[in-house]
Amino acid sequence: MTDAVDGFLAEMWERYGYLADQRVAALERYVEAGGGDRSGDVLADEAESAAHKLVGALGSYRRPGSEQAAVVERLVQSRAPVDEVAAAVRELRRLVG
């Protein structure tokens, strides 16, 4: 049964994994815009949503990075300094690819 589930998850990741890249890119745009209050509400909302979706998707597909995405989500929600967010997003990018 585990092989079947693993195979299914791998197939779904092949089909939808590109969304993870797009969501990390949204987080990178947030950082490039200066993060926090400098990025504006639209980018901050987009970044928060992207991080939240990554937490769930990476965990559901058993991919690395779900915990790191949760860290990024908390940092964005708290409007943490951009250098902290940038470091967390770089690590997330490394994990996601």
Residue that the structure tokens 């990741």 belong to: 13
Phi, psi dihedral angles at 17 (to 5 degrees): -60, -25
> What is the per-residue pLDDT across 59-84, written as a single tens digit (0 to 9) for each?
988 899 999 999 999 999 999 999 99
Where are any strands of DSSP class E within the chain? Answer: none
> Which residue did the predictor score with more confidence, 5 or 92?
92
**Model-level pTM?**
0.89
Q: Which fold has domain 2-96?
A: Four Helix Bundle (Hemerythrin (Met), subunit A) (1.20.120)
pLDDT of residue 72: 97
Q: How far apart are CA 97 and CA 92, in angstroms?
A: 8
CB 96 within 8 A of CB 61: no
pLDDT for res 38: 61
pLDDT tens-digit readout, 19-52: 999 999 999 999 999 887 665 688 889 999 999 9
Is residue 75 within 8 Å of 84, Cβ to Cβ?
A: yes
Q: CA of 9: how far to CAs of 21, 57, 61, in Å?
A: 17, 11, 6
